[in-house]
């Protein structure tokens, strides 16, 4: 009988296995002295930082805080609590001025005003997808804006505005990665990537941004497993209780409304079921969904794999360079 228990692991044993592999990758394969982790206050980067500290020692893990204009203040607070608990050194690099200089906010706001001309400096915004329960659901984004008085408006995004908003927003992830590699090269450290299996499989990352890393230690773990292992390793409770958020747009935005269209607990079971050939009816019972919702989730999983495949690919050469490949 299919159940949520399929995601259970021996957390200490799995953590020990990952830690051994981190030591091997960082020291033997990459020949680096330590690890740089971009600490966001979220569960994934927190677990990666904890595993890295256990693997190579807390004094050889650098946690980077990289807030920008739209960041939630809570993210920095939680990141600082993690660093204190792990006893790792940290650096605070505010990337807002760099993003401002590159036109991130200006380009984004101009695209928003193409949809809502009244959008101004004190307004906030995010982009969202329809819920998986919508029978007519297509992966078409809508723009949500909030006026200073809290009034919200929503409209389907035309392609040009969508592409501009996403391109501008992706600057944030790429600027953070630039910062991580500066410190990694300065210290002769390796950069740790933080995607979990759901994000890695479904292309929920930015190429050249959070998709770039020297190693990705939790890309095989479902999000549910990340939360469970974090609790087992003593990651602060405030982080373990925080719901996944993109922390990218000025309005609060969950990962489910922006990309996955289901809460991670249900999406994990759908992804596991799809990966293991489990009938939608069985997954539906365990996940608390209808059969139709699971069927649509299966279709969506494959659609995202097709459309984001390019994110996983290395640069394409006209012909192989035999001496290198």
User: Looking up tokens 């608990």, which residue turns up?
Assistant: 85
CA distance 143 to 153: 8
pLDDT at 138: 61
Q: Which helix (H) or strand (E) holds 190?
A: strand 190-191
How many CB atoms sit inside 10 A of residue 315's CB?
4
Q: Where are the alpha helices (DSSP H) in 154-221?
A: 159-187, 197-202
The mean pLDDT of the chain is: 95
Residue 132: pLDDT band (50, 70, 90) is low
CA distance 120 to 192: 37
pLDDT digits (tens, 9 = 90+) for 165-215: 999 999 999 999 999 999 999 999 999 999 999 999 999 999 999 999 999
- Lookup: tokens for 3: 């159940």
CA distance 54 to 273: 32
pLDDT at 54: 98
Angle ∠(318,320,325) on CA atoms, nearest 5 = 150
For the ranges 139-148, 253-262, 294-303, the lowest mean pLDDT is seen at 253-262
CA distance 318 to 260: 35
DSSP 8-state class, residue 241: T
Q: Is 205 helix (H, G, I), strand (E, B) or coil?
A: coil
Strands 152-156 and 142-146: antiparallel
pLDDT digits (tens, 9 = 90+) for 143-158: 999 999 999 999 999 9
CB 233 within 8 A of CB 54: yes
CA 172, distance to chain mean position in Å, is 13
Average pLDDT over residues 218-247: 95
User: 40 Cβ partners below 8 Å, 6+ apart?
Assistant: 75, 79, 194, 247
Give the full edge-to-edge strand order of the sheet including 190-191. 90-92, 61-65, 35-38, 190-191
pLDDT at 65: 98
pLDDT above 80: residue 309: yes
pLDDT at 239: 97
pLDDT at 133: 57
Residue 258: pLDDT band (50, 70, 90) is confident
pLDDT at 320: 92
Residue 126: pLDDT band (50, 70, 90) is very high
**Residues paired with residue 156 on neighbouring β-strands, in sequence order:** 142
pLDDT at 158: 95
Between 130 and 198, the more confident residue is 198
pLDDT at 244: 86
DSSP 8-state class, residue 192: B
pLDDT digits (tens, 9 = 90+) for 281-294: 999 999 999 999 99
Of the candidates 272, 192, 184, 181, the one whose C-alpha atom is nearest the C-alpha of residue 19 is: 192
For the ranges 11-25, 63-77, 189-203, 249-263, the lowest mean pLDDT is seen at 249-263
pLDDT at 260: 85
Kindly provide the b/e burial profile for residues 154-192, where b requires at least 16 CB atoms within 10 angstroms of the residue's own CB: eeebeeebbebbeebbbbbbbbbbebbbebbeebebbbb
CA distance 259 to 195: 14
CB 119 within 8 A of CB 109: yes
């Amino acid at each position: 009988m299919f159940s949520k228990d399929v995601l259970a692991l021996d957390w200490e044993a799995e953590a020990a296995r990952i830690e051994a592999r981190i030591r091997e990758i960082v020291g033997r394969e990459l020949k680096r002295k330590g690890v740089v982790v971009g600490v966001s206050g979220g569960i994934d980067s927190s677990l990666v930082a904890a595993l890295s500290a256990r693997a190579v020692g807390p004094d050889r893990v650098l946690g980077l805080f990289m807030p920008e204009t739209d960041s939630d203040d809570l993210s920095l607070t939680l990141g600082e609590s993690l660093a204190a608990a792990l006893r790792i050194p940290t650096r605070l690099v505010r990337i807002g001025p760099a993003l401002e200089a590159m036109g991130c906010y200006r380009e984004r706001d101009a695209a928003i005003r193409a949809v809502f001309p009244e959008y101004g400096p004190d307004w906030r915004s995010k982009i969202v997808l329809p819920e998986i329960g919508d029978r007519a659901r297509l992966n078409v984004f809508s723009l949500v804006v909030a006026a200073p008085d809290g009034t919200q408006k929503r409209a389907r995004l035309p392609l040009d505005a969508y592409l501009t908003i996403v391109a501008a927003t992706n600057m944030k992830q790429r600027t953070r990665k630039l910062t991580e590699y500066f410190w990694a090269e300065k210290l002769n450290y390796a950069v740790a990537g933080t995607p979990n299996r759901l994000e890695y499989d479904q292309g929920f990352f930015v190429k050249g941004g959070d998709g770039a890393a020297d190693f990705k230690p939790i890309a095989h773990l479902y999000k549910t497993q990340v939360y469970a292992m974090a609790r087992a390793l003593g990651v602060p409770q405030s982080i373990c209780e925080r719901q996944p958020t993109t922390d990218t747009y000025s309005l609060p935005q969950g990962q489910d409304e922006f990309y996955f269209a289901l809460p991670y607990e249900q999406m994990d079971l759908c992804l596991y079921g799809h990966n293991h050939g489990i009938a939608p009816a069985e997954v539906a019972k365990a996940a608390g969904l209808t059969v139709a919702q699971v069927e649509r989730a299966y279709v969506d999983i494959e659609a995202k794999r097709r459309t984001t495949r390019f994110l996983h690919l290395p640069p394409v050469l006209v012909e192989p360079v035999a001496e290198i490949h």
